[in-house]
Chains A and B, each alone.
Chain A
């Protein structure tokens, strides 16, 4: 399996622009997570899905952030409009459920908002 695939790996944009991050989970995994990593706050869970349904979005910082999972093999995290404080590394992870509870992470998208 190719693992969790995220795109793009790097994104540089200007304040006010819309940004879309993409994630393809591991086939057969029922859970998908979006995290944000910054030096100041560490790793934060933004939202997670189970069987394509959002379960908990309490970590989404504000209404400018939205996430969708239209099918089992694709998810997006959108920021509109983007702000410099959104600059971070965004990770997607997937998990197959069950007692093992091992999440598999993608390589991340490094976002810079100028």
Chain B
């Protein structure tokens, strides 16, 4: 079955540091890939997505590129802010189906 593996957290960074959160997946075919973010006390919200190989999703300074050859979708940001502190979830779904398979989430803590 499908699965998503994320690096374990917490990831602790100082403000303005570079961020990478690794995500790899196992799935048949060509899934769509997502990053969701969960701020404290809130539900998940979509951060970015990519639907085919080599697509780059981007939003709020975050980027991730769909790498079919390495089955990866790593999240990056050049300069993190304290307000980016949250839990980040990598997920996949198959076209035509509505369910998402989530990774376990990676907590990011950014200090001033």
Q: Which residues of A approach B to under 8 Å, CB–CB?
A: 4, 31, 33, 42-43, 45, 48, 50, 56, 91, 93, 95, 97, 99, 101-108
Contact = CB atoms under 8 A, between A and B. Distances in A.
Interface of B: 32, 41-46, 49, 51, 89, 93, 95, 98-100, 102-105
A31 B41 CA distance: 24
B104 A106 contact: no
B41 A107 contact: yes
B44 A91 contact: yes
The 5 closest A-B pairs by CB, nearest first: A105-B43, A42-B104, A105-B44, A43-B102, A107-B43
A17 B34 CA distance: 37
Contacts of A31: 98
Given A42-B105, A101-B93, A102-B49, A95 B98 contact: yes
A50 B98 contact: yes
A42 B102 contact: yes
B76 to A, nearest CB: 21
Nearest to B45: A105
A101 B45 CA distance: 13
19 contacts: A33-B98, A42-B104, A43-B89, A43-B102, A43-B105, A48-B98, A48-B99, A91-B44, A93-B44, A95-B98, A97-B98, A101-B32, A101-B98, A102-B46, A103-B44, A103-B46, A105-B43, A105-B44, A108-B42
